[in-house]
Structure 1
Amino acid sequence: MMVVRPIKEQDWDDLRALAAKTGPGFTSLQDNDEQVRAKLEAGVEAMANGTAPDACNYLFVLEDLSLGKVVGVCGIDAAVGLSYPWYNYRVGTMVQASRELDIYKQTQILTISNDFTGYTELCTLFLDPDYRHSKNGHLLSKSRFLFLAEFQERFHHTVLAEMRGYSDANGVSPFWEGLGRHFFEIDFDHADQLSYKTKVFIAELMPKYPIYTNLLPESAREVIGLTHDNTTPARRLLEQEGFRYSGYIDIFDAGPALEAPLREIRAVHDSRYVKAKLVDQKLDGELFLLSNCEFNDYRCAMAPMRMQGNDIALISAETAAGLNIQSGDTLRAVPLFADRRF
C-alpha cells in the first residue's frame, strides 16, 4: 500500500537517494547534501508545534508500506518571498504604432516581478521513475490538496505551482543560453544550484528594464512558457484540478507558473467529510483520495470506498491501517479524478 505522510528524520537516506535522481533544472531538490539536509529539517520543523504558519515549508513523502521505503516527495511552501525576494518574469505586450508610416506592431516583453510574494506554492514534486505507474503520481501530487483543504487557515488564498521549464537532452536551457548567460556568465546548472540558497544575486545582475523578446534568439523565444517533457504530466494534472497559466514564467528556464484560488481547486472544493466504517473484504471500484484529519500525523492514501447512506464510508481494514484511523473516525474524501463525483 502507498501512503503519503509528513517527512521524518529517519527518511534521510531515502530522500538523499531521490535527490540523486532529479536531474538538471530541478531546483528544489538537487543532488546536494547541504540542500537535502536543509529541506528535511525545514519539513520536520514545519510540523512542530509553535512554528509560525507563514514560515512553514511542509514536506511530504510517499512511502511504500510493503517495503518501508520512501519513493516520492512533494512539498507546500506556505508563503513565498517573505524571507527573500521571489522573482518571476511577467510576460506582457508592448504596442508600438505610427500613423504616418501605417505601422502597428505588438511586441512581447518580459518584466521582472515580485507579484507572487506571500502566495502558497506547491513545490518539490518528484516520484522515483520505478514507481511512475499505478496512479502513484496522482496520489503524490493531489495528497497536498486534502492537506490544504483541512488546514486552509495556514495558507494564502491563492496557490502557485512553478513548472520546470524546457531543456534539451543534454540539460541545456535555450532560454538561459539566450538571456541569462549574458548577465551571469555562468552555466545554467550553476545558477540553478545557487538559486535555492538565495535569489538576491538575480536582483543584482539582471536588467531592471523590460526585455523585448524579439531581441532574443528564436530558440529562447520558442520555449517561453513551455514545460519540461518530464514535467508535462504534472502540469496536465494541475490543470485538471483548476490551475491555469497566467503569464508568469521562471527567470531561469522560462517554465510556466500556474495558479488557482485555493478554495476553487477541484480536490479542495469537492472534498467532504465522511465517517469511516471498516469492512473485512477487499473493496474494488472507483478510487478516492482519503485522508485523516490530523496535522502532525497526516496521512493520505488512494483506495476504493463505498458510500453507505450520506456520510458513512466503507473502507478496507488495510486502508484504515495505512491512514492510522479506526472505525467511526472522520475522513476527508474526494474522487481521485476530476471528472468523477460522489
Structure 2
Amino acid sequence: MLVVRPIRHNDYPTLHVCAEESGHGFTSLPVDEALLHERIEHSVASFSKPVTEPDGEGYLMVGVDSETGEMAGTTAIEASIGGDVPVYSYHISKIIHSSQKLGIKNVVRLLTLSNHYAGCSEICTLFLRPAYRQGMNGKLMSKCRFLLMAEHPERFSPTVIAEMRGISDEHGKSPFWKWLQDAFFHIEFTHADHLMGIRDKSFITELMPKLPIYTNLLSREAQAVIGKVHKYTVPALKMLQKEGFVCRDYVDIFDAGPTVECDLHNINSVKNSLRATVAIGQVGNSDFLISNTSFADFRAVATKAWYDAESNTLFVNQETLAALEIHQGDPVRLLPM
C-alpha cells in the first residue's frame, strides 16, 4: 500500500533520485543538494507551523511503499506564491490590425509579461517513479493534496494554480526557449531551467523583453508549442481538467506550457470529499481515497472501503487504520473514486 505523508529529513537520498529521474523542465525539483535540503527544511517547518492564513509555507509530501519503505514519488503544495520570489508568466491576448481601404483584417496574438498569480496557492512537484505508475497511485499522489486543502482551507489561497510542463525534447531543448535564447538570453534552456529551480530569477528581470511580443514574429516551431504540454504531462493535465482546472491564457515564460487554475471551493475533489467516522468492518469493492484529519501528521491512502451514508461511517480494514495512524472511531476525510 502506498502511504502519502509529509517529507522528513532522512528522505533526502531518495528525493535526490526523484529529482534526477524527473528530467528537464521539472523546475520545482532541481538536482541541487542545497536546494533540496532547503525544501525539506522549509516543509518540515511549514507542517509544524500554526497558520490562520497562507504566508509562503511549502508542503512537500512523499508517497512511501508501506511494505518496503521505498519512496515512490513526491507531491507538494505552495501555500502562497510570488511573495519572496516573483512568479512570472506570459499572458496571451489578441489585437486586431485592420484596413478598411485594403480590405485586410489580421488577428494577432500578443505575449505580455505578467505577475498575475502572486498570492495564489500552487500544486506542484508531482512525480511518480516509473515502477509505481500503476493502479490508484497516480490519483492518490495528485488528489491527496485536495483532501488536505479541503480539511484545512485556512492554510491556502482561494485560487489554486498548477504550472504544466511545456514541450521540450529528450535533450532538454525547448522550441519556445530557442527564440528567447537567440534574441535575449544566450544561455541554454537547461541552464535557465536550473536557475529557475534554484530560485535565482534575477536574470528574468534583467534580460526578459519588457514590451508585449507579437507571436507571429516567433519561429513557427515556437508558435506551435505555445500552450501545449509535454507528452509525459498529458495525464496530469487531463486529471486537473476533470477537477475543474482551466487555462486562462497564461503560459510559462520558458517553455510556454500552460498554467491552469481553479477556485479552491470549486475543485471537484474538494467539493465531493466528506468527513466520516472510521470503523473496522467489511470493506466491499468500492475504491476510496482516505486521509486522516491531522495536518502535521497527515496521512493518505487509496484503498477499498465501504461507506454507510445513514450512519456516516467508513468501514476499512486494520491495515488502512495502521497506515493512516488512526483508531476506530476517529474522523477521516474520504473521496469516493
Same fold (TM over 0.5): yes
Residue 267 of structure 1 aligns with an amino acid whose one-letter code is S
Residue 271 of structure 1 aligns with an amino acid whose one-letter code is S
What are structure 1's unaligned runs of at least 5 residues?
337-342
| Residues 84, 200 of structure 1: 8 Å contact kept | no
Partner secondary structure for residue 21 of structure 2: coil
| Residues 54, 157 of structure 2: 8 Å contact kept | no
| Residues 22, 30 of structure 1: 8 Å contact kept | no
Matched, 1:90 2:91: yes
What are structure 2's unaligned runs of at least 5 residues?
none
Cα deviation 1:11-53 (Å, max 9, x = unaligned): 1111111111111111011222122112211111111234673
**TM-score normalised by structure 2 residue count:** 0.96
| Residues 180, 252 of structure 1: 8 Å contact kept | no
Separation in structure 2 between the aligned mates of residue 85 and residue 181 of structure 1, nearest angstrom: 24
Counterpart among 256, 267, 271 of residue 254 in structure 1: 256
Separation in structure 2 between the aligned mates of residue 284 and residue 313 of structure 1, nearest angstrom: 11
Partner secondary structure for residue 48 of structure 2: coil
Separation in structure 1 between the aligned mates of residue 15 and residue 70 of structure 2, nearest angstrom: 10
| Residues 181, 188 of structure 2: 8 Å contact kept | no
CA apart distance, 1:206 = 0.8
What is the aligned-residue RMSD (CA, Å)?
A: 1.3
Matched, 1:130 2:131: yes
| Overall identity of the aligned pairs, in % | 42
Residue 73 of structure 2 aligns with an amino acid whose one-letter code is G
Residue 235 of structure 2 aligns with an amino acid whose one-letter code is P
For 1:298, the equivalent position in structure 2 comes to 298
For 1:340, the equivalent position in structure 2 comes to none
Residue 37 of structure 2 aligns with an amino acid whose one-letter code is R
Match runs of 1:193-232 below 5 Å: 193-196=194-197, 197-232=199-234
For 1:322, the equivalent position in structure 2 comes to 323
Separation in structure 2 between the aligned mates of residue 316 and residue 182 of structure 1, nearest angstrom: 61
Partner secondary structure for residue 160 of structure 1: strand
Match runs of 1:159-170 below 5 Å: 159-170=160-171
The number of residues matched between the two structures is: 334
Separation in structure 1 between the aligned mates of residue 136 and residue 226 of structure 2, nearest angstrom: 29
Separation in structure 1 between the aligned mates of residue 135 and residue 46 of structure 2, nearest angstrom: 30
Partner secondary structure for residue 167 of structure 1: coil
Counterpart among 232, 235, 238 of residue 236 in structure 1: 238
Partner secondary structure for residue 305 of structure 1: strand
Match runs of 1:1-342 below 5 Å: 1-50=1-50, 53-196=54-197, 197-279=199-281, 283-308=283-308, 309-336=310-337
| Residues 176, 222 of structure 2: 8 Å contact kept | yes
CA apart distance, 1:324 = 0.7
Separation in structure 1 between the aligned mates of residue 186 and residue 152 of structure 2, nearest angstrom: 43
Cα deviation 1:216-237 (Å, max 9, x = unaligned): 0000000001101111111111
CA apart distance, 1:182 = 2.0
Separation in structure 2 between the aligned mates of residue 11 and residue 332 of structure 1, nearest angstrom: 26
Residue 220 of structure 2 aligns with an amino acid whose one-letter code is E
Partner secondary structure for residue 142 of structure 2: helix
Cα deviation 1:155-204 (Å, max 9, x = unaligned): 11010000000112332100000224421100000001011322222121
CA apart distance, 1:99 = 1.3
| Residues 178, 219 of structure 1: 8 Å contact kept | no
| Residues 181, 187 of structure 1: 8 Å contact kept | no
Residue 190 of structure 2 aligns with an amino acid whose one-letter code is D
Residue 217 of structure 1 aligns with an amino acid whose one-letter code is S
**TM-score normalised by structure 1 residue count:** 0.95
Change in 2 beyond 3 A, CA 1:310/1:99: farther
Change in 2 beyond 3 A, CA 1:328/1:50: closer
Separation in structure 2 between the aligned mates of residue 78 and residue 181 of structure 1, nearest angstrom: 35
301-310 or 6-15, larger mean C-alpha shift: 301-310
Partner secondary structure for residue 192 of structure 2: helix
| Residues 27, 196 of structure 2: 8 Å contact kept | yes
Separation in structure 2 between the aligned mates of residue 211 and residue 322 of structure 1, nearest angstrom: 52
Cα deviation 1:227-283 (Å, max 9, x = unaligned): 01111111111111111111000001000001000000001011111110112x6x3
